[in-house]
Amino acid sequence: MKKIMLTFTALLLAAPLYAQNQDLGGPVSEGGAVETAGIDASGEDAEGGLTFTVTDESDWADLGVAIPAFATDRDVATPANTNGTAALGREVARVITANLRNNGLFKPVGPDALPQPSFAQIRAPSWATWSGRGAEMLVHGFVQARGDGRLMFGCYLYDVALKDELVREGWVVPPADWRRAAHKCSDLIYSRLTGESPFFDSRIAYIAETGPKNKRVKRLAIMDSDGANHRFLTLGSATALTPRYSPDYKRLMYLSYVDGNPRIYVYDIGTGKQTLVTQSTNPTFAPRWSPDGRYILYSMAVSGNTDIYRVPAGGGSSVRLTDTPGIDIGGSYSPDGSKIVFESDRSGSQQCYVMDANGGNQMRISFFGGRCATPEWSPRGDQIAFTRIAGDFNISVMSPAGRNLRVLTSGWQDEAPTWAPNGRIIQFFRTERNSGRTALWQVDLTGRNERRLPTPVDASDPAWGPILP
């Protein structure tokens, strides 16, 4: 009898933790590290190459890039592809082709329309073959199964007219992470040709939506930047909203109604455990990380009044950063961590404000008619993306001083911009009028290249993480 009582007591004590975790799926196994490997230089110095600079992506749309299948020295089956490393090499080239094409930057031709180079040709391209096809740039690469079970990928970019190598790099990855090698190669090509920072090797957290408008099921989900490796993290019994990856990808913050009230949880991806962002019975919203991952911003409503708070990510006491009677919510750090742009209706309508990281010097920056919501500071520091509400909801950018407003999209309701790691592309979600259906979209800073990112079900609240460590 006593034993039963003890068990019962233990169950009671465990109940809150259980309740807190009951909407979570199993822990997600994260891939291993990607190791950059030297690939032996074939005599030539890889300096030189393109001499012009890029100011507008549209100039690049006509640049032909040939991406034939990666070659292999020995065709063997691996956990990455049971059909062998040759088949894997073709898949890698397909991923790179899709990356470069989907972002509207280049005119890539993939492996299915091109001859297959031999392993020896990877370092000594058959120039006549490629110039004859009108290719201006040529991507070559190889796949090798290593003795330790990992895979070695080499990636080379050649200028066909110059008959010269522009850049090369190699990576060693566990078989499960083969797509990361394809993204690393895409980043290498993109960066070398545009002079911009990389962004393909990154992940996106978002909310997967199913069901009718009045009974929407909203689940936390993650995927690679190209939509691959898609996983649901919550089961859907509780509404999940507004995720944010930590800069090191080890944790995810998001809002969940798992205990019946809106609360921000910090979810540890490795252990599958989650904790409340703050031990308070007040509702908490709008989680944000500082760029170095040391601080968390959250917004908390006390007696109906919402303000922004900052707490050390490792635990500690919260500091209240705003104290107006209006709704102060959100917050996005400048890349150097010194300033925060946030949203407040203290003036009577939603507008964007900038303050010091400690809450000082709060100043409104949006003065262009309409409302300014969900501001997000570019990782480059030079722009702030936001939802402009002026009749419709549209993704817009302005300078950190609130100047040079540019409206980039024209949907009925486009909201919640999130930046690619290099600050060149903005992702957001678009809601359809009446049906309430949602989807993720991307637009570049010119506003010309807009595309829908395919997801298994409807999607909202995207949060693009930084380049993977």
Partner 1 sequence: MMNRYAAITLLAGTAALAACSKKAPEELPPPPVETTAEAPVTTTAPTGPVVGSQEHFVDAVNGQNVIYFDTDRYNIDSADAAALQTQAQYLGQYRQIRITIEGHADERGTREYNLALGERRANAAKNYLVGLGVDANRISTVSYGKERPVALGSNEAAWAENRRAVSVVIN
Q: Is 436 left (phi over 0), alpha (psi -120 to 50) or beta?
A: left
Cβ(56)–Cβ(446) under 8 Å? yes
CA 322/CA 345 separation, integer angstroms: 12
Of residues 245, 254, 295, 393, which one binds partner 1 by CB under 8 A?
Answer: 393
Cβ(438)–Cβ(461) under 8 Å? no
The window from 106-114, 188-196, 197-205, 235-243 that contacts partner 1 (CB under 8 A) reads 235-243
- Residues of span 27-56 touching partner 1 by CB under 8 A: none
The window from 91-99, 113-121, 219-227, 385-393 that contacts partner 1 (CB under 8 A) reads 385-393
Coil, helix or strand for 278? Answer: coil
Of residues 29, 83, 126, 305, which one binds partner 1 by CB under 8 A?
Answer: 305
Of residues 144, 202, 290, 306, which one binds partner 1 by CB under 8 A?
Answer: 306
Q: Judged by CB under 8 A, does residue 304 bind partner 1? A: yes
**In the stretch 403-422, what mask flags binding to partner 1 with x, by CB under 8 A?**
----------x-xx------
Task: Write out 50-84 in H/E/C secondary structure.
Answer: CCCCCCCHHHHCCCEEECCCCEECCCCCECCECCC
CA neighbor of 86 nearest in space, from 143, 48, 129: 143
CA neighbor of 333 nearest in space, from 290, 384, 397, 385: 290
How near is the Cβ of 464 to partner 1 at its closest, in Å? 17
The window from 18-26, 136-144, 313-321, 430-438 that contacts partner 1 (CB under 8 A) reads 430-438
Q: Judged by CB under 8 A, does residue 345 bind partner 1? A: yes
How near is the Cβ of 405 to partner 1 at its closest, in Å? 18
Of residues 261, 271, 361, 399, which one binds partner 1 by CB under 8 A?
Answer: 261
CA neighbor of 182 nearest in space, from 198, 195, 196: 198
**Beta partners for residue 336, in sequence order:** none
Of residues 243, 330, 421, 423, which one binds partner 1 by CB under 8 A?
Answer: 330
Cβ(158)–Cβ(140) under 8 Å? yes
- Residues of span 189-218 touching partner 1 by CB under 8 A: 212-214, 216, 218
CA neighbor of 159 nearest in space, from 135, 141, 183, 142: 135
Q: Judged by CB under 8 A, does residue 285 bind partner 1? A: yes
CA 357/CA 456 separation, integer angstroms: 38
Of residues 313, 327, 352, 354, which one binds partner 1 by CB under 8 A?
Answer: 327
Binding region for partner 1 (CB under 8 A) = 212-214, 216, 218, 239, 241-242, 255, 260-262, 283, 285-286, 299, 301, 303-306, 327, 329-330, 343, 345, 349-350, 373-374, 387, 389, 393, 413, 415-416, 431, 433-434, 436, 460-461
